[in-house]
Structure 1
Amino acid sequence: MSAIKTKLNDAVKDAMRAKDKERLATLRLATSALKQVEVDERIELDDTRVLAILDKMVKQRKDSVEQFTQGGRDDLAQKELAEIDVLKEFLPEAMDDAAIAAIIQAAIAETGAEGMKDMGNVMAIVKPQVQGRADMGAVSKKVKELLG
């Protein structure tokens, strides 16, 4: 079993003992998302895949915060922000821009990329290294800058 998944299940038990309903609800959302993928694909998730799912959940909540804020629903935006905080506990430490740039440069050198047509090859190497530790949209933008 994935170490992150184990940590998540332990956090669910701790939240139940502490009677922390909001935290428990968020943790249960995460565990159900993981279980859904396992059942649909009939696989046991590894850490990389768990990180990708949690990262996607954080991104969805960030989008929701933006929508709720524009709609004047600050109460719902605060709820989403609280969920983001809980989910981020299970993601690795965020990478700084210099580290991301170094990974991208190494991937460009490794693939011999010369232009935008090689972006897919570069991203295939970069993505597993930064998944859950950096915003993939920003990483993609940086790759485009360096290849363009």
Structure 2
Amino acid sequence: MKIIVYDNHFNGNEWFVIGIVVLAFAAVWLLPRRFSPAQTTFNLLIGITFGVVFDHSIGTPPFDLYDAGDNSTYELIDLFSYFMYAPFGYLFIYGYERLRMFEIMTVVYILFWAVMSAGTEWLAVQAGVFHYKHGYQLAYSFPIYLFLISNRLE
């Protein structure tokens, strides 16, 4: 397999990952506590788990629809990038519990988070964190976000 090199410097894509991790974990830290330490840990880990499972499902062979980071192989910052997903899982559950969603509002809430997720992915693409391949487009991620987010509420 040929290695594709997109960049070879510490620059925008690494700073994007670091910035998202710091800002999102700061939001988690600053919010009033609603969950036990075990629940908090679970809510953080579920974001990482979903991110890893789906990134490796569609981002590696046989699909290989995108690369993350500076090249098509994994680097340390790529491993660190999985921590970007942790606070979003927590914040999603936190907001759902705090706002006490019901019926149609749950649908609106899921759509809101799917749009936010797609928007964050778009920013990550602009920063060079993700590089689409084989015709993959951001629009294809939206149904994946809907599926993942709706399954977090079960």
TM-score of the alignment, normalized to the shorter chain, above 0.5: no
Of structures 1 and 2, the larger Rg is shown by 1
User: What TM-score do you get using the length of structure 2 for normalisation?
Assistant: 0.29
User: What TM-score do you get using the length of structure 1 for normalisation?
Assistant: 0.29
